[in-house]
């Protein structure tokens, strides 16, 4: 399942994120805000259990999150920008990290780091990366997670190219993808068009 968001706040904030004059501070803030807004929908199917509670007025039935515990797994670097927004909704989630960069010549993902919660096989996993371009990085990250026993995986991206969505779907049809917008295409350097440029560089001010 691919969920594309159609919400005025998301469209508004995403447009500011795309603008080339948006600086690092605002870029980071908006990535956090978008992650929270998307997180609302990503967590819609979380299970609840009833619990008795007492208000100042009377006893009633409240609800508490039940079911599987959650792991957030940002793909380094740019996925880091999405962690705080998601954690503000899911403060008990554990955070794993997968380090991948795209080789500038082959555009293939290269792994340089992987540290996951030891019980990742028992958790619902939410993979975070603002950009889904060729889909190589997300597919490699999901491959690692499945090798470590993860079974319930969602992928959350801010911008995707149609090619990346198809690539992930073809390799991991069981993974639900949530994306704020599916853009037009990839250019000859495998950058998303119109996109927002290099998310990692814009987030960390490295260019």
198 is an active site residue: yes
Is the backbone peptide bond immediately before 77 cis, with ω within 30 degrees of 0?
yes
Q: What does the per-residue mask of binding to ligand URA show for 102-131, with x meaning CB under 6 A?
A: -----------------------------x
User: Is residue 131 a contact residue for ligand PRP (CB under 6 A)?
Assistant: yes
The Cα 99–Cα 57 span in angstroms is: 51
Q: Which two tokens stand for residue 115?
A: 């540290």
User: Is residue 190 a contact residue for ligand PRP (CB under 6 A)?
Assistant: yes
In this structure, the chain runs to a length of 207
The Cα 187–Cα 133 span in angstroms is: 10
Q: Which two tokens stand for residue 97?
A: 């990290």
User: Among residues 17 and 150, whose Cβ is nearest to ligand URA?
Assistant: 17
Cβ atoms of 99 and 128 closer than 8 Å: no
Calculated CA dihedral for residues 115, 201, 80, 12, nearest 10 degrees: -150
Residue 102 labeled ligand binder? yes
Residue 57 labeled ligand binder? no
Site for ligand URA in 171-200 (CB under 6 A): 191-192, 195, 198-200
Comparing CA positions, the residue from 99, 94, 106, 173 lying closest to residue 134 is: 106
Long-range contacts at 5-11 (CB < 8 A, ≥ 24 apart): 5/37, 5/38, 5/41, 5/178, 5/179, 5/180, 5/181, 7/37, 9/37, 10/34, 10/37, 10/38, 10/180, 11/181
User: Among residues 41 and 107, whose Cβ is nearest to ligand URA?
Assistant: 107
Q: What does the per-residue mask of binding to ligand PRP show for 58-97, with x meaning CB under 6 A?
A: -----------------xxxx-------------------
User: Is residue 137 a contact residue for ligand PRP (CB under 6 A)?
Assistant: yes
Task: List the one residue from 13, 102, 172, 202 that touches ligand PRP (CB under 6 A).
Answer: 102
Contact residues: ligand PRP, CB under 6 A: 75-78, 100-102, 107, 109, 129-138, 164, 190, 198-200
In the annotated binding site, the residues are 77, 102, 129-137, 192, 197-199
Residues marked active site are found at 102, 106, 198, 201
Which residues contact ligand URA (rule: CB under 6 A)?
A: 78, 131, 133, 191-192, 195, 198-200
């Amino acid at each position: 399942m691919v969920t594309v968001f159609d919400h005025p706040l998301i469209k508004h904030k995403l447009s500011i994120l795309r603008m080339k004059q948006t600086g690092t501070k605002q870029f980071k803030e908006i990535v956090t805000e978008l992650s929270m807004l998307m997180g609302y929908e990503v967590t819609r199917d979380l299970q609840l259990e009833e619990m008795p509670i007492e208000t100042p007025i009377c006893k009633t039935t409240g609800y508490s999150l039940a079911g599987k515990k959650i792991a957030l797994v940002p793909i380094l670097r740019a996925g880091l920008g999405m962690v705080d927004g998601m954690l503000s909704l899911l403060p008990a989630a554990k955070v794993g990290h997968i380090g991948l960069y795209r080789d500038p010549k082959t555009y293939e993902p290269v792994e340089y780091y992987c540290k996951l919660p030891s019980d990742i096989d028992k958790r619902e996993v939410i993979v975070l990366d603002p950009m889904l371009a060729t889909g190589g990085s997300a597919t490699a990250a999901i491959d690692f997670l499945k090798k470590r026993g993860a079974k319930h995986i969602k992928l959350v991206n801010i911008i995707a190219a149609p090619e990346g969505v198809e690539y992930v779907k073809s390799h991991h049809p069981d993974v639900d993808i949530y994306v704020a917008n599916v853009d037009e295409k990839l250019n000859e350097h495998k950058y998303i068009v119109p996109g927002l440029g290099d998310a990692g560089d814009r987030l960390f001010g490295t260019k």
